[in-house]
Chains A and B, each alone.
Chain A
Amino acid sequence: MAAEPTAQESRSRDLDKLLLRPGNLVGPNFEPGPALRDDLKEYGRVLVVGAGGLGCELLKDLALSGFRKLEVIDMDRIEVSNLNRQFLFRLEDVGKPKAEVAAKRVMERVSGVNIVPHFCRIEDKELEFYSKFSIIALGLDSIEARSYINSVACSFLEYDSDDSALEETSKPMVDGGTEGFQGHARVIVPGVTPCFECTIWLFPPQVKFPLCTLAETPRTAAHCIEYAHLIKWDEVHSGKAFDPDDPEHMKWVYNEATKRAELFGIPGVTYSLTQGVVKNIIPAIASTNAIISAACVLETLKIASGCSKTLSNYLTYNGAEGLHTEVTEFVKDKDCLVCGPGVLIQLDTSITLEKFIDLLKEHPKLLLSKASITHRGKSLYMQAPPVLEEMTRSNLSIPLFDLIGKIPKDVVHAIGTTTKNDKKTSCLRKLRVVFKGVDGIADMDTAGET
């Protein structure tokens, strides 16, 4: 007994109060004790998606909330304009991958924590990669990326024969987002709470200016800027793509916008506004990111340990006019394409994989093109990279029924692109394929023998 340091001397002095002591306002599976604290270290694997304003905070907060096994994924490099809030980065880090620097800095300061960085796009990772985490924490600034991760997490959710979600297969997520003095934090437990897609209406698409306004009746500085950016650039630079990160390109757009504004007598074009409009810059400050990330990590700790009740299920924070917080309990959409049991597709046993992929293009609920198909973690066909494409190409001419082991019905996953608001986005869909004219029970037996 003497070997155990007393609570006051321990590194987990404060956290222990919550993890070691019983309480009545706690989660249903709360089992306080040193084993819980150790389990958190050992088995609480959290993936942080995004190493920006929220991601830096999430990593720090998780590392100081009893989690030891963290990973972080981000495709961006550090820029000077990150330094007003992304506190793990210094001026000399500019140009380096965010995920790598963030992981290194937190590990330097919090001993015992291991953080694996992944400097790549979220779509570059296989589904397997995401399946190993107990919780995924999202620190993203785009709807598309949230949507993608959400579909990945939901793809692990299994349903029983009565279409009831099997909770033990649910991969929980916490999601944060900020803009200026405002933000939101939410808990997503697929199968229990609404998923990101169930409440996609909370994030209305950005309103774009009509092209005729830009071309014919500009009225505001933003109209002049978008004219230069979207119309004039292509007229002048035949074929050369506009690069928002190239200062020369930005300068050109600014100059053209200024000329147009002068022509029409419109005030207000500045270089800063030009950048803001063209890159759709969302203003961001350290304090809001800190608040929202902290709420997300507190919920992560509660989900992992049961040490308190959880947020149910969406918190909005607004600090612009006084301080307002509000909790809203959204309900899940039982017909959701993403977290529901999956889109049902009936097929003939003779349908080849190639035909099946073509079918997904036309399917009214899916409209999924260039799909890669996986079955229980195994790739049946991969569109990319070329090596994998070549390796799986021969499957295209084989019936899907045969490829999945002649089971009368099962779930396959398709990752492809779909068009949303005129924008191509990657998405993952869970498909329940059912083969016509196959006797379920008899075939289940044969499947078992192979």
Chain B
Amino acid sequence: MAEPKTKYDRQLRIWGEQGQTALEKASICLLNCGPTGSETLKNLVLGGVGSITVIDGSKVELGDLGNNFMVDESSVGKSKAKCVCQFLQELNDAVKAKFIEEYPEALIETNPSFFSQFTLVVATQLVEDSMVKLDRICREANVILVLARSYGLTGLVRISLKEHTVIESKPEHFLDDLRLNNPWPELRGLAETIDLDVTDPVAHKHMPYVLILVKMAEEWSKSHDGKLPSTREEKKEFKEHIKARMTALDEDNYKEAIEASFKVFAPRGISSDLQQLIGDRFVEVDSSSSDFWVMVAALKEFIENEGGGEAPLEGSIPDMTSSTEHYVSLQKLYQAKAEADFLVIEQRVRTILKRIGRDPNSISKTTIKSFCKNARKLKVCRYRLVEDEFNSPVLPELQKCLTDEDYSVAGGFYILLRAVDRFAANYNSFPGQFDGVMDEDISRLKTTAVGLLNDLGCNGVTLTEDLINEMCRFGAAELHAVAAFIGGIASQEVIKLITRQFVPLSGTFIFNGIDHKSQLLSL
């Protein structure tokens, strides 16, 4: 066996040891192992998930060899689940791979409690009725559900679970937490000790912009009734002041200060997202609350008390032009403040835990620390029941997509993906699945789609003939490239859900394989 650290190096750089451990603990169940399902699992097996269970009742046919890499000539006539499972095991011996030769629909009907043993279920190529039933089962059992489907040049990926909370959302672009608009006493104190007019040119050009800005903001507020620049003119004037302090043209630190001056002007306090989060009804915690909400409750108390309207300090600073000494002392100062904020929050978490009758030490220091560091970036994702979406989708959103110049095709596919299931329920085959009855299928699908739009209350929306024809042309084909695309997305979402890092997609992703103008629908 290869040294896992080396084998997983390229992904450990993304989700770290913690994320990897979460993956290795996860047990994943796959329903239907056509190319969409097989490709989803392939990506997860390579990444090292704990265990997989492949469920499929079908035997391998010749047609499967044309779209599924996990089966080959020798598989024809054998259990598809078995063949796929065998190949997947070859990819990574650290994964426990099992298969069950049974049709998912039957399992959903007869043995709903079966699904509760898994961390997550990936259900591929299910029709509407089975999706709805499985969704209810998973919701009840608190199992994460990812639905994936490839259909000709379209397809979808949908996540379903009650709530997914993320501490490490790792946004790519996020404003650093320097508090230049609201420096705490120690930062102010450090700025006071420095002399911006130092005569040594080397020292002058190595003064970090953080200190320049804190110092100059202080000077400004002293001469402006304790206020920071707020109007356009004031901001401009403030920048002019900075510029005037430059003693040479090559002083990068002053250029950085001018560029970063907006951080001084930014409003104090927390973002509207965070405001909304601490106003969530789940903040009223009790013994059934998750660790996340217990910590949010503590965060709320902190913001309202010690924080003075601010979240705990993140504690890290970006690289900037500076002497090593100044930079290191700034770094230490920010870290010390973050540590102090953390200690307050930790205390509050312990007190809350005690109050709600839980062990005060049941949330680890590491978790609370990570929570504090990411307090400004917390994310909560909630998903409607599939059944609710199907019965009463968010109409304005659907209408908007259906009539959008660029995305009406994706919107149309959403309707048609549902219409083909109604079609199949009525006629026992998908439109265009068999040659020879195309014209009849086209008109039947059209009638079905119109009926669906009416039922949903989408009045005045029509789908183009071209798109309906196209859907019939697809004839429920599972093309390998589309399956690999949809499966790729499904596996990426699974990874985000299991590692609890990054942000999973919200709603339903509708793939438009014609021109790639795909769409995310929150219905």
Task: Please state if A266 and B7 are interface contacts (CB–CB under 8 Å).
Answer: no
Task: Please state if A219 and B67 are interface contacts (CB–CB under 8 Å).
Answer: no
Q: Which of B69, B91, B322 contacts A109 (CB 8 A)?
A: B69
Task: Please state if B520 and A15 are interface contacts (CB–CB under 8 Å).
Answer: no
Task: Please state if A284 and B10 are interface contacts (CB–CB under 8 Å).
Answer: yes
Task: Please state if B46 and A87 are interface contacts (CB–CB under 8 Å).
Answer: yes
Q: Mark B158-176, 1 if CB is under 8 A from A, else 0.
A: 0000000000011110000
A330 within 8 A of B: no
Q: Mark A330-352, 1 if CB is under 8 A from B, else 0.
A: 00000000000000000000000
Residue of A61, A84, A109, A275 with most partner-chain B CB within 10 A = A84
Using a Cβ cutoff of 8 Å, how many contacts connect chains A and B? Answer: 251
Task: Please state if B513 and A298 are interface contacts (CB–CB under 8 Å).
Answer: yes
Task: Please state if B502 and A321 are interface contacts (CB–CB under 8 Å).
Answer: yes
Q: Please give, as numbers and ranges, the residues of chain B lying within 8 Å of A242 by CB-CB distance.
A: none
Task: Please state if B42 and A220 are interface contacts (CB–CB under 8 Å).
Answer: no
Nearest chain-A residue to B66 (Cβ)? A11
Task: Please state if A217 and B324 are interface contacts (CB–CB under 8 Å).
Answer: yes
**Known pairs A266-B328, A283-B11; A297 contacts B481 (CB<8 A):** yes
Task: Please state if A24 and B10 are interface contacts (CB–CB under 8 Å).
Answer: no
Q: Please give, as numbers and ranges, the residues of chain A lying within 8 Å of B328 by CB-CB distance.
A: 219, 264-266
Q: Please give, as numbers and ranges, the residues of chain B lying within 8 Å of A321 by CB-CB distance.
A: 169, 171-172, 502-503
Q: Please give, as numbers and ranges, the residues of chain A lying within 8 Å of B12 by CB-CB distance.
A: 272
A311 within 8 A of B: yes
B489 within 8 A of A: yes
Nearest chain-B residue to A266 (Cβ)? B328
Task: Please state if B11 and A84 are interface contacts (CB–CB under 8 Å).
Answer: yes
Residue of A7, A8, A87 with most partner-chain B CB within 10 A = A87
**Known pairs A298-B513, A323-B505; A14 contacts B46 (CB<8 A):** no
Interface residues of A in 1-36 (CB under 8 A from B): 5, 7-15, 17-18, 21-25
Interface residues of A in 35-94 (CB under 8 A from B): 57, 60-61, 64-65, 80-81, 83-85, 87, 90-91
A309 to B434, CA, bound (A): 24
B319 within 8 A of A: yes
Interface residues of B in 458-502 (CB under 8 A from A): 465-467, 469-470, 473-475, 477-485, 487-489, 491-493, 495-496, 502
Task: Please state if A219 and B7 are interface contacts (CB–CB under 8 Å).
Answer: no
Task: Please state if B478 and A14 are interface contacts (CB–CB under 8 Å).
Answer: yes
A10 to B328, CA, bound (A): 68
Task: Please state if A272 and B513 are interface contacts (CB–CB under 8 Å).
Answer: no
**Known pairs A24-B466, A285-B10, A295-B516; A64 contacts B46 (CB<8 A):** no
Q: What's the tally of chain A residues with a CB closer than 8 Å to chain B?
A: 78
How distant is A365 from chain B, measured CB to nearest CB, in Å?
32
Task: Please state if A23 and B63 are interface contacts (CB–CB under 8 Å).
Answer: no
A398 within 8 A of B: no
Task: Please state if B480 and A110 are interface contacts (CB–CB under 8 Å).
Answer: no
Nearest chain-B residue to A285 (Cβ)? B11
How distant is B381 from chain A, measured CB to nearest CB, in Å?
9
Nearest chain-A residue to B10 (Cβ)? A284
Q: Please give, as numbers and ranges, the residues of chain B lying within 8 Å of A417 by CB-CB distance.
A: none
Chain-B contact segment, one of A159-167, A286-294, A408-416: A286-294
Write 23 A-B pairs (CB below 8 A) sorted by A numbering.
A7-B435, A9-B61, A10-B66, A17-B432, A17-B477, A60-B69, A64-B66, A80-B2, A80-B7, A84-B10, A85-B46, A108-B72, A110-B65, A111-B65, A219-B322, A219-B327, A285-B495, A287-B492, A291-B492, A294-B485, A321-B172, A322-B520, A323-B509
Q: Which 10 A-B pairs have the closest CB atoms?
A: A13-B63, A290-B488, A291-B488, A294-B484, A64-B480, A294-B485, A323-B505, A14-B477, A287-B492, A286-B43
Contact surface of B with A, Cβ cutoff 8 Å = 1-3, 6-14, 35, 39, 42-43, 46-48, 61-63, 65-69, 72-73, 90-92, 152-153, 169-172, 206, 319-320, 322-324, 327-328, 331, 432, 434-435, 438, 465-467, 469-470, 473-475, 477-485, 487-489, 491-493, 495-496, 502-506, 509, 513-518, 520
Given contacts A9-B63, A264-B324, A319-B489, 10 further A-B contacts (CB under 8 A): A10-B63, A24-B466, A61-B481, A64-B481, A281-B10, A283-B11, A285-B14, A287-B488, A288-B492, A294-B482
